[in-house]
Structure 1
């Protein structure tokens, strides 16, 4: 009897799903030349297109693969470094996730110029997902509550991110 109780107690403890603290974003200063994920060649860096040109391409197709885009990072997920936002020419931003969550970036990447390599698409992001990212970004409860409509935006899946001048 005691063995059964001990076994059940041990099993419950071993298999319970507690909130495990997620690791923090990686440390680092995001210096020019640093890269996250796959490195991006010098040729690709030189041939990177602007966010405006990417937006133009996405007006004629829903998805662009193997594209290299340059821009300024306006936000980094403070919890894990698992997403960034990149400034567009009209002052808005678009959302970048890391392909297969294979890498993360330091919060020091905010404000830096980068080149992204991966695929982009126009997507409608649900209110629920927008609120999730706002919560990750530590927005206020009022800012999160104000999110009431889905948003059509560029979504980028990065295989690599490199810091440039």
Structure 2
């Protein structure tokens, strides 16, 4: 009887040890998956990053329609240094486009300038009032003298992003 009991105990310890090894392997797989997901992190809404509209076509369409829904890829040139609540990207026509985020729902890292992003949202050309232009200039770190030079509204390319993916 002692031999049977001892055999059952050894078997139980062996099964427990195997389960712990499997659990450890599963834990490693989960950690790897989390690392992969970090690389695929979206700010705001996630979206299909494959169907990208070129910036040339976006500008053309913005000049033809009231607003344009699109997924675009662009290089960030400037980010709001107060909160990361807006960013600027260069357009192929020499202009810049200010990107804000739907419902003020998410923000960009302040050190994003120089990196590429893919984003989904609505683009349009619209007037920006003097007060908002001064606010943006202040957030961008402009001097008091530069801010004082802003005295009239400006027609701007704008993009309201519902989702952004920072590219590696």
Q: What TM-score, normalized to structure 2?
A: 0.72
Q: Which runs of 5+ in 2 are unaligned?
A: 1-37
Which residue among 126, 141, 146 is the counterpart of 2:149? 146
- How many residue pairs match? The answer is 131
1:60 aligns to 2:64 (yes or no): yes
Which residue among 112, 115, 119 is the counterpart of 1:116? 119
RMSD: 1.6
Which residue is 2:162 aligned to?
Answer: 159
- CA gap of 1:133–1:125, structure 2 versus 1, over 3 A, is same
CA deviations over 1:120-140 (Å, ceiling 9, x no partner): 111011122111100111100
Bigger Cα Rg: 2
Relative to its length, the structure with more helix (as a share) is: 2
Question: For residues 149 and 53 of structure 1, what CA distance do their matches in structure 2 show?
Answer: 29
1:40 aligns to 2:47 (yes or no): yes
Q: What TM-score, normalized to structure 1?
A: 0.73
Q: Does 1 or 2 have the higher relative contact order (CA < 8 Å, sep 6+)?
A: 1
Q: Which runs of 5+ in 1 are unaligned?
A: 1-30
Per the TM alignment, residue 32 of structure 1 is displaced from its structure 2 partner at its CA by 6.0
Which one is further off, 45-54 or 131-140?
A: 45-54
Give every structure 1 segment of 4 or more consecutive aligned residues whose post-TM-superposition deviation is greater than 2 Å: 31-35
Name the SS for the 1:39 alignment partner. coil
